[in-house]
Structure 1
């Protein structure tokens, strides 16, 4: 299944430098950055609400799983290598200004890949 990711310069910025970091496409780098953001927001929503975001937990988890699997396949990553990449991304998106800058593009990416369920009247 192909993920539809936005080619935004801010999101496509390289992952944090690591000695043995694999070369991933900008599409996967973007996906990993947004997956990290969704995990941070979901944790905040569980603790204190994060009311300025729509509910992220279920869709964010599915997005995280899909993009992680693609990154592992494309980058020939094992679980520890993926975890190291995600830890660095989570650290990068913890800053409020970073989260604010990534919010709209990542939500658009989430909607494109895992559409919200239709609400019934």
Structure 2
């Protein structure tokens, strides 16, 4: 079940980041608290959007995240690659880890209110 939830994250990350040049990345910088929050919310949006696409009652209580959540995810991944020096594989791995942790701990619903505020502030 968890693997099927993470597949959309990996697919979106791979498609969104295809245009990024494939150059050797420098040693990644540690992530700031803000960057970690962006990453957690991106993972939460991907999980909720997947749940909404599959009519999960828990996911349908949130606003539709199919388009805006995906765009937030794409922009965040590109921004974090630029800021941290991580490559596509590295940022995808971290996003998957965040999604796995959020799902396993049942924390998606807990962070969604603040993530939705972040989405609004982003202008996406």
> Is it true that 1:34 corresponds to 2:41 in the alignment?
yes
Q: Distance in 1 between matches of 2:63 and 2:42?
A: 15
- Match of residue 87 from structure 1: 96
Q: Distance in 1 between matches of 2:60 and 2:28?
A: 35
- Match of residue 71 from structure 1: 80
Contact 2:51-2:60 at 8 Å conserved across structures: no
Task: Report the number of matched residues.
Answer: 96
> Is it true that 1:113 corresponds to 2:107 in the alignment?
no
> With structure 1 as the length reference, what TM-score do the two structures score?
0.72
Quote the RMSD (CA, aligned, Å): 1.8
Higher helix share: 2
Unaligned stretches of 5+ in structure 1? 1-19, 116-121
> With structure 2 as the length reference, what TM-score do the two structures score?
0.71
Q: Distance in 2 between matches of 1:112 and 1:90?
A: 22
> Is it true that 1:23 corresponds to 2:16 in the alignment?
no
Contact 1:59-1:114 at 8 Å conserved across structures: no
Unaligned stretches of 5+ in structure 2? 1-26
- Match of residue 110 from structure 2: 101
- Match of residue 57 from structure 1: 66
